[in-house]
Chains A and B, each alone.
Chain A
């Protein structure tokens, strides 16, 4: 084998290796697998391996009304334009609750549905999604991460709880493996983001 053949083979190998590395670099899933712990949850909307913008965080202050007391927010609000695909945050989740509801004015009502999912291998792990427009799954169905559960409605965000009914935890809590990933909080708290009817949604860097 002459040196020309060796050069051609090495060039071909280098091109293949370069293409492979580029492909990995462009694949969000591979990045997700490198960065996130094994038990981490994917983001519950499309595209699931990329950090999302948050419009509301866990336990932030929320104003009550004439009948109800002020309270702390029991989940996170993930920004999503109307019609975004809503996904399970893990494999093997069972649909344990579906609520069909509507909101809006009498002349302009829109669907505002909700879903409860339970992890098959860890039944104490329950997830709640609300502000949904169309639900494609049924009660009792077990779903994988590639299944589109629903689409978001015109409120432009999904409210997402990890845990339900007084057992909620922060889905972004960084010291446990069972959290939404990837998530990097580079934001510093500012006065406008503190409490009481902030004029702008709280934005965390993507």
Chain B
């Protein structure tokens, strides 16, 4: 073999050696960017929707909260009764209550394990009751009438988070976390951040509040560790108005609907995984992290005369599109929605019973399903 043949052979071997990973990498890219195909949307009835909901975790407790008597005068009081029932309708306990007709009514929030937290914004208190009505503890969160007291149980019922005015600092707000026995675990001062949303991660390792900073005039979202109340992440730079955890809580999707921005972060490290600037305002999002999929509904917002009162205008969504991304932000598929789906922004949602392979849209009081192939 002469010198040039040896060189050519070596070059061929080197080429072969370097080409192989390129091929593998190309195959991986092809696999990651597989296309998702949408079938036609078809209307489904309540029975079909009920059948899908039966796959969900059944509710073991039913909260029956009703007003029994109500003063006709808005300066009067309303009398009500709360009952906690088993799923078969057996009464576990009940109590009467009353409140000022024009003030906020008490809320009875029931955890999956049957612990009840009574939130009284009109009195500034939260009270915990056992499954059988035993008094577990009461906390004065704000020592006065307040319209801003709200709370939320974590999905497995271990924690109860409360946001309210800060009793110690006028005009400031606070976040408190309680356990299922009604014991306060920690309190975090939110300064001028007025919370509009409380969300627990599905495994309850984090609690997230969506807020509007009343002084800075910026929307934001803060993630706290449920264990010790440590601030883990704060997403204020993108001015988000909606945030969604992935199924394991390890990622959080941050949405700025007005600026069409969609960003995915690692929850624990706040590391940005991707950011996408989309062509239309984002209306609604659903994440299926186990399937490496993010669905989002986007549409142009236009103003149309109000059907009831044409002197005023109402926001209306047009040019609707349902798009699917992977967790790298790559677009896998999209479908234009029919013009019959055009409605007001709050009347169009991806239904919570949607799955990675079956997307259900709620359009007003109707439901439409679409199967996906990928």
Contact = CB atoms under 8 A, between A and B. Distances in A.
A45 to B, nearest CB: 11
B168 interface: no
The interface residues of chain A, by DSSP majority, are classed as: loop
Contact of A103 (B105, B148, B215): B105
Contact of A85 (B99, B217, B241, B306): B306
Interface string A102-132: 0111100000001010101001101010100
B147 A165 contact: yes
Contacts of A68: 99-100, 103, 120, 122-123, 145
Interface residues of B, number: 57
Nearest to B196: A97
Contacts of B73: 197-199, 201
13 contacts: A60-B75, A62-B100, A65-B99, A67-B106, A97-B212, A105-B68, A123-B217, A147-B303, A147-B312, A157-B74, A165-B171, A165-B194, A197-B76
The interface residues of chain B, by DSSP majority, are classed as: loop
A58 B144 CA distance: 17
A3 interface: no
A140 B75 contact: no
Interface stretch (B23-31, B59-67, B285-293, B354-362): B59-67
B219 interface: yes
Nearest to B307: A148
Contact of B346 (A103, A136, A164): A136
Interface stretch (A5-13, A14-22, A32-40, A71-79): A71-79
A26 interface: no
Nearest to A104: B67
A153 interface: no
Contacts of A137: 315, 345-346
B241 A105 contact: no
B323 interface: no
Given A96-B212, A140-B257, A56 B346 contact: no
Interface in B135-164: 144-148, 150
Contacts of A147: 303, 312-315
Interface of A: 46-47, 55-56, 60-69, 71, 73-74, 77, 83, 85, 87, 94, 96-99, 103-106, 114, 116, 118, 120, 123-124, 126, 128, 130, 134-141, 146-148, 151, 155, 157, 159, 164-167, 196-199, 201
Nearest to A126: B214
Contact of A63 (B77, B146, B215, B303): B77
A61 B74 CA distance: 11
Given A68-B100, A97-B212, A105-B68, 10 more contacts: A56-B75, A67-B98, A67-B106, A73-B102, A97-B194, A123-B215, A134-B346, A147-B313, A148-B306, A166-B144
B211 to A, nearest CB: 9
A146 B196 contact: no
Given A69-B145, A140-B241, A146 B312 contact: yes
